[in-house]
Amino acid sequence: MHLAGVALPEGEHRNLWIRDGRITFEPVPGAETVSRDGWLVPGLVDAHCHVGIGRGGVLVEDLVELREQALAERDAGVLALRDCGSPVDTRALDDEPDLPRIVRAGRHIARTRRYIPGLAVEIEPEALVDEVRAQARRGDGWVKLVGDWIDRGVGDLAPEWPGDVVAAAIAAAHEEGARVTAHTFGTDALPDLIRAGIDCIEHGTGLTEDLVGEMAGRGTAVVPTLVNVENFPGFAAAGEKKFPEYASTMRRLYASSGAVVRAAYEAGVPVFAGTDAGGGIDHGRIADEVRALHAAGLPAEAALAAASWSARSWLGLPCIEEGAPADLVVYDTDPRTDLDTLARPRLIVLRGHLIS
């Protein structure tokens, strides 16, 4: 195939060809021209989703339903997923060339009875290091911890792991060649995680100015999942009768969530776009997340980069470059200035094949 258009992020008009599933800038005789104009964007990334988890936390193990989740992402222009914890083995999807690439984090690791039932490996602190090593070998270079959750004895969010155990577990993951990320809503679990050298924080609504500064200095990333944070008022209402302090905390975190994201970006913390699809969020909502990042204070181009070229680089995936796998999306208007166009991809090329 042959395509022409403005290639991002460089913003230069380019002609590119696809041969044997890969991009080349050398003309290929006889190639069919499938696009003569538009904006060529490296395949989008949903940096926090859960293939294999359906509405209400129900496990999805049927291959047809797993395909439907992945297809919803692909049709939104998402050609790579960071599956941020799933109890379902989805590797059968890797054999299907029309589905996005999946970078897995193994299963969530949570404290016993301190997370959504059935989703995590539930253990006590003395077993954390061994379980982190096991999940590092099960995943694709990532491990997912549950850093905090409601503690019924406290009546509010509370850390799941002692600080020394967290430090040993993160060190063990790094020894296995894996990066570590953690779910956190509140503040109290964050200092130990960040100081132990964690690579990423999911949600991060409890970040403070001091913690943001430390993350920026260490290069620790955050994936804010703002479309999921929109559910916080509902979480508060559901828990208010039994846990009024928790309800108050969730409302406070919701109210400050946009300011936290803006502060993180302005401090130089790497910010990436993830929807938390699976469970309470439908797959295929990356355009909503990019718009939410922009509304929180990221410039439009930075919000787009958080779901495309910057996220791909972070995950070790190439962009529009010589010899790279041909994973790209074509839009009619410049998405750097019109984020709404992300909801309307004109063409999708995945693994060198024209999808739509």
Q: Is the pLDDT of residue 121 over 80?
A: yes
Q: Total domain count for the chain?
A: 1
Question: Does any domain span residue 201?
Answer: yes
Q: Is residue 32 part of a domain?
A: no
Which residues contact residue 171 at a Cβ distance below 8 angstroms, ignoring those fewer than 6 apart?
196, 197
Domain membership flag for residue 219: yes
Q: Are 207 and 201 in contact (CB under 8 A)?
A: yes
DSSP state of 95: G
Q: What is the pLDDT of residues 96-112, one digit of tens each?
A: 999 999 999 999 999 99
Structural domain including 312 reads 44-317
Q: Domain holding 271: CATH number?
A: 3.20.20.140
In a domain, 229, yes or no: yes
Query: How crowded is residue 251: how many other Cβ atoms within 10 Å of its Cβ?
Result: 16
Helix axes 163-175, 128-138, angle to 10 degrees: 30
Measured CA to CA in angstroms, residue 88 lies from 59, 93, 263, 275 at distances of: 7, 12, 36, 19
With contact defined as beta carbons under 8 Å apart, do 229 and 203 qualify? yes
CA distances from residue 311 to 43, 127, 154, 249, 290 in whole angstroms, order as listed: 10, 32, 37, 30, 12
Q: What is the mean pLDDT of residues 232-240?
A: 97
What is the pLDDT confidence band of residue 279, given thresholds at 50, 70 and 90?
confident
Residue 39: inside a domain, yes or no?
Answer: no
Evaluate whether residue 339 is within a structural domain.
no
Q: Above 80 in pLDDT, residue 313?
A: yes
**pLDDT, tens digit, 9 for 90 and up, residues 159-175:** 999 999 999 999 999 99
Indicate whether 56 pLDDT > 90.
no
Q: How high is the pLDDT of residue 83?
A: 96
Q: How far apart are CA 66 and CA 43, in angstroms?
A: 20
CA 23 to chain centre: 25
Q: Rounded to whole angstroms, how far apart are CA atoms 138 and 313?
A: 22
- d(CA 350, CA 325) in angstroms, rounded, equals 8
Decide if 210 is inside a domain.
yes
Q: Are 70 and 81 in contact (CB under 8 A)?
A: yes
In a domain, 331, yes or no: no
pLDDT at 170: 98
